[in-house]
Amino acid sequence: MNITELLSDSPVVPLVQADDPAIAVETSRALAAGGLKVAEVVFRTDRALECLQAVANEVPETIAGAGTVLSASQATAALENGARFIVSPGLDDGVVAVAREHGVPVYPGIMTPSEVQHAFNLGLDTVKFFPASIAGGVPALKALASVFRTMKFMPTGGVSAGNLADFLAVPAVLACGGSWLTPADAIAAGDYNKITALAAQAIDIARKARGINNG
């Protein structure tokens, strides 16, 4: 399956944040065991590139992407270290250009109609809605979707098991991203079973919200 097919079936993208490649690998394996096989390794630690490369090499069942990509040079480095998609907190033309040059999906962050319109005119059909919870949540998403009828959205930031179904009920939402699936305390304790359980719970919520048959 490619990323779009995986997200159609399991519309949740967990964030993996680690400063140790071994932990990134174990976290990604735990998520995959729960059914989430698209993971965003975020560039928020000194060894994020190593973590991305380790997940790309050692967890073949997972499509690993790079998150919190802020510049074209970071996007290039991410692709050189195994990223199969790029996610940014904001909309940067250079990041988009690098991803498109290499033929990989890119999901830049947007918050306003002007940013969505700019993304549309760059030829993009999917954007990250960030930070979703303080950017207006579901009502804002519905308003944006009514104007930008061909655009898909990936709300991230404040998404949780409690509101996942509400976001996924919006037809324009491709998938939701979030860090609630990889709690720092569980990772610190080595409790990867908890991460697998959270992933499985998210899959169940998502499929019920989308009317997807679990069987």
The rounded radius of gyration (Å) of the Cα atoms in the chain is 16
Q: Look up 26 and say whether it is catalytic.
A: no
Q: Which of 26, 37, 128, 152 is catalytic?
A: 128
Q: Look up 128 and say whether it is catalytic.
A: yes
**Range 185-194 contact pairs with CB under 8 angstroms and sequence separation of 24 or more:** 187/18, 187/23, 187/27, 192/26, 192/27, 192/29, 192/30, 193/30
The one-letter code for the residue type at 130 is F
Question: How many helices and strands in the chain, by DSSP H and E?
Answer: 10, 9
Q: Which of 37, 40, 152, 194 is catalytic?
A: 40
Strands (E), 25-118: 38-42, 63-67, 86-87, 106-107, 109-110
Active-site residue numbers?
Answer: 40, 128
